[in-house]
Amino acid sequence: MTDDGLTAFSARRRLRSTLRRIRENLGLTQNQVAAELDWSISKFTRIEGGTVSIGASDLLALCVFYGVGPSVQEQLLHYRERAKGRSWWHPYKAVMPASMATLVDLESDAAALRMLATTEIPHLFQTDEYAHASVTAQFGPVPSDETTSRTALRLARQSVLTRPDAPQVTLLLDESVLYRAVADATVMARQLLRLAEMSRRPNTDLRIYPFEAGAYGYPGGLVLIEHRAVEDGVTLYYDTVEDATTVEDPTEVRRHLAGFEALWDKALDRNRTNHLLHHVATQYAESGHTRPWL
């Protein structure tokens, strides 16, 4: 993050969203702008979509065509300069797929995170032992330095929760996650107690979605990211069978926000969630069995 609090990722987002908003306020289509500037439509859509960077001369040409004032032009140029920087996770690039890079950047730019976890403890809440076991299970026998790097990345991401402007986190955890033995009983007990401890932070609200609450339509979980710039709205991130997807369409995002809230309303309250976390942690610690009837 730079001295003005703007990450390279958030600068890229601000640049593209501001350019798009100016065009839409002027009532212009992408085709009209591309034709006026003698650009190909593919060039313009890639610029406005943020898939390619924009040169200073092209940005100034857009500013002149849009008729923006000096202060707006200066701000856009500022965003462009900030966008050149590397994200903090660059040292981990070799072990980070593109979809995860997107999520990590979104986390860094978040004012609030709503998370539904269905298969394991989210990376932002994992202990080092749990994270190492999860990485080993997910990626199998790989060189130890790769496992170490993947684990270190998960732990490094957690700093977003303790920074001065940390996002407000609302975590909905499927009850099955408590019983999925990603690691041995001792590690699982410590992990659940860590969850209970983190849930007491002022910026964290954690609830358990119990088995009795029924089925739902998010097998891979989801993350809803509310950006620090209000005009950037909310982004939906969710895993699919083959990859991960981000959605920014406001109508679609509102639908999933409503779906999340409906699940949240069925969750255990804070006290019952805390009781269950401690109860299962005690079972792990004392007997190693959380379901003795099996």
Sorted by where each starts, the structural domains of the chain and their CATH numbers stand as 8-82 (1.10.260.40), 90-286 (3.30.870)
- pTM of structure: 0.86
Task: Give the Cα separation of 41 and 31 in Å (integer).
Answer: 6
> Are 190 and 225 contacting, i.e. CB atoms less than 8 angstroms apart?
no
> Are 179 and 290 contacting, i.e. CB atoms less than 8 angstroms apart?
yes
Residue ranges for the chain with pLDDT beneath 50:
1-3
Residues 6+ apart with CB under 8 A from 161: 124, 167, 169, 198, 201, 203, 204
pLDDT cut 90: percent of the chain above it = 74
**At 210, is the secondary structure helix, strand, or coil?**
coil
Would you state the pLDDT for residue 1? 46
> Are 172 and 264 contacting, i.e. CB atoms less than 8 angstroms apart?
yes
Task: Give the Cα separation of 277 and 193 in Å (integer).
Answer: 7
Strand partners, 225: 113, 235
pLDDT digit string, tens, across residues 196-239: 999 999 999 999 999 999 999 998 899 999 988 777 789 999 97
Identify which of 19, 10, 5 has the alpha carbon closest to the alpha carbon of residue 83.
10
Task: Give the Cα separation of 123 and 134 in Å (integer).
Answer: 10
In this structure, the number of other CB atoms found within 10 A of the CB of residue 70 comes to 8
Would you state the pLDDT for residue 234? 93
> Are 226 and 113 contacting, i.e. CB atoms less than 8 angstroms apart?
yes
Task: Give the Cα separation of 140 and 143 in Å (integer).
Answer: 10
Helical residues (DSSP H) of the chain, grouped into ranges = 8-25, 30-36, 41-49, 56-66, 70-82, 98-108, 128-139, 144-157, 176-179, 185-198, 250-264, 270-286
> Are 60 and 27 contacting, i.e. CB atoms less than 8 angstroms apart?
no
**At 169, is the secondary structure helix, strand, or coil?**
strand
DSSP 197: H
Would you state the pLDDT for residue 3? 44
pLDDT digit string, tens, across residues 61-74: 999 999 999 999 99
Environment class of 53 (CB within 10 Å of its CB; exposed 0-12, middle 13-18, buried 19+): middle
Q: How many residues does the chain have?
A: 294
